[in-house]
Structure 1
């Protein structure tokens, strides 16, 4: 019996107009790192984000890795505030569907690889926080626990008091699919940017997810 849903946030519920990962890194992050005497090229940074390299890899550049990721997250929050000011963070038009799912009596969580502060900021921008029983951003005590690791998803399951078989993961990316699968859950891929191999269900938008959940209940 389905009792809960765990949602990804960025690119599943909201999007950033004109966002380019490399451009963001070079324009926003690199200057902040250079101020602290850290030279880190985009390719190396990208590998730490995708999990090809551990988050602690940056310690070879002479900085504590927790400190490093706090710098990154501080920059990310500044970026999000600026994008919000410019009206360039947008909710997808179907986000109201999360409220509909909540009305069905499901427990609902949001899990993001962004920091707790960045995640809560974006959800609060559009009044989405009220839909979620729990919101988890990255955990500084386990920085390699971000998706595709199941760590944050399992943390949300524990707080919701649900078993993996009672819950579905909902997201747009390969990281979401892998994290959900590794936690032992069924995964719904919202195909905003194409289908990700390995999901159990595919929906075009969140209203289609509502229809899928209704059938399950």
Structure 2
């Protein structure tokens, strides 16, 4: 069991970038657990990038739970990537409270294979006037992998702006489910949502086939583009 507990504060006006590379090439029954609390104070910014590389058999359970408070005029961005190797079991839960004129940007990119089980929850509360948020989940699935994506964006304040982008490509006997929640509680706020689940885009596929690629090669290229 790898257990990570962090309480991070980016103080007023400070700027930081964190990069985490987590590699489990020969995992059999590994648990990667994280419980994080992050505060980004007024005018500060934090960028967090986490890349996972797993072996072909998976063997990993990933449970990152993160709560973020983004204060006035602050910025927070997070990106989770798992493209190489079998994902295993993923239970990702990120939640952000966004104050006035602050910004949150969450991105998740995962390729699920075999019997991988993926559950993503990204949530942002646009609590302050002029706050903005973008929640992006790009998932590719094949074999018998399953994924459930929950994106929740709630705008309570005037001039709050938000967008949810969920795209899932499904192959073989994989299963995908998207549960978007977009809620506006102020007539001056605005939130949009875009979702696409299913096979690869037929127009993109036809274009690549016309250039001499096989169907498998074209599909792989489209998936690489989604996850890049």
> Which range, TM-score by smaller chain?
under 0.3
In terms of fraction of residues, the more strand-rich structure is: 2
Report the TM-score when normalising by structure 2.
0.25
- Pick the structure with more helix per residue: 1
Looking at both structures, which has the greater relative contact order when contacts are Cα pairs under 8 Å and sequence separation is at least 6?
1
Instruction: Give the number of the structure whose alpha-carbon radius of gyration is greater.
Output: 2
